Amino acid sequence: MLKENRKTLIITSLVTIIPAVIGAVLWDRLPDVMATHFGLDNTPDGFSNKVFTVFGIPAIMLALLWACAFITAHDPKKQNISRKMFSLVLWIIPVISLLMAAILYPYNLGYRMDMTFIMGIVIGLMFVITGNYMPKARRNYTIGIKVPWTLADDDNWDRTHRLAGFVWVAGGLSVLAMTFMGIGNLAAVIISVTVIMVLIPVVYSFVLYLNKR
């Protein structure tokens, strides 16, 4: 699987380390200590030195990309993971790496942004995209709703993921709507929506299992 997707893996690896290149270009303008984590009120509550922020974070993201690629490619049921699904796995971390750079560099250069709003948009879109792919996922041990009842039965897996796809798209659209509406305490809303999106498919899968006993 890695050989068949070698081109995509190379491209995603290069995209993942683009923030390091951007950081090197901006090096003289960036502060020696950079804000790297923000609280719910958009106030920075975590800081790292410039070397780690510019080079360390992209390196960690690159290592995570290769770890995800290796694990997915060696799934015992890798034949059930489509090329599109594997590509989705490979692109998640590069996109996150770029988004982090798009947030951290402007902020540390003095531009102030609404971090909660940005994260609401990003998370909402990720839920929608993931939801669209879920019904297409076949039974495997790496991607999807991996509970004992889905892993033991193809029919349970398929029906659970059809429902999960609908639930995740609906959840993502809800997060996007509430983000644009400026709902207060958006972080709590996102956590609540996430819990619901996970619980509904899991409970549904268990009910299907009980009905077949």
Greater pLDDT, 3 or 101 = 101
Question: Is the pLDDT reported for residue 40 higher than 70?
Answer: no
C-alpha span between 23 and 37 (Å, rounded): 17
- Note whether 85 and 126 are same-domain residues: no
pTM of the entire predicted model: 0.82
- Note whether 53 and 156 are same-domain residues: no
Record the tokens describing residue 66, joined without a space.
Answer: 């290769």
Query: Strand locations in 31-138, DSSP E?
Result: 33-38, 44-49
- Note whether 95 and 20 are same-domain residues: yes
Greater pLDDT, 171 or 188 = 171
Question: Is the pLDDT reported for residue 151 higher than 70?
Answer: yes
- Note whether 2 and 65 are same-domain residues: yes
Question: Is the pLDDT reported for residue 152 higher than 90?
Answer: yes
108, 119, 175 from 111: Cα distances, Å: 7, 17, 25
- Note whether 59 and 91 are same-domain residues: yes
Dihedral sign of CA atoms 111, 112, 117, 119 in order: positive
58 pLDDT band, cuts 50/70/90, is very high
- Note whether 185 and 87 are same-domain residues: no
Question: Is the pLDDT reported for residue 41 higher than 80?
Answer: no
Average pLDDT, the chain: 92
- Note whether 99 and 119 are same-domain residues: no
pLDDT of amino acid 7: 93
Instruction: Tell me the mean pLDDT in the region 17-33.
Output: 97
Place of tokens 């990309």: 65
pLDDT of amino acid 38: 81
- Note whether 17 and 5 are same-domain residues: yes
Contact assessment for residue 120 and residue 186, using Cβ atoms and an 8 Å cutoff = yes
Number of domains in the chain: 2
Q: Write a three-state SS string for 69-126.
A: HHHHHCCCCHHHCCHHHHHHHHHHHHHHHHHHHHHHHHHHCCCCCCHHHHHHHHHHHH
What range does the domain containing 121 cover?
Answer: 114-213
- Note whether 55 and 122 are same-domain residues: no
- Note whether 101 and 164 are same-domain residues: no
- Note whether 143 and 121 are same-domain residues: yes
Question: Is the pLDDT reported for residue 109 higher than 70?
Answer: yes
Give the length of the chain.
Answer: 213
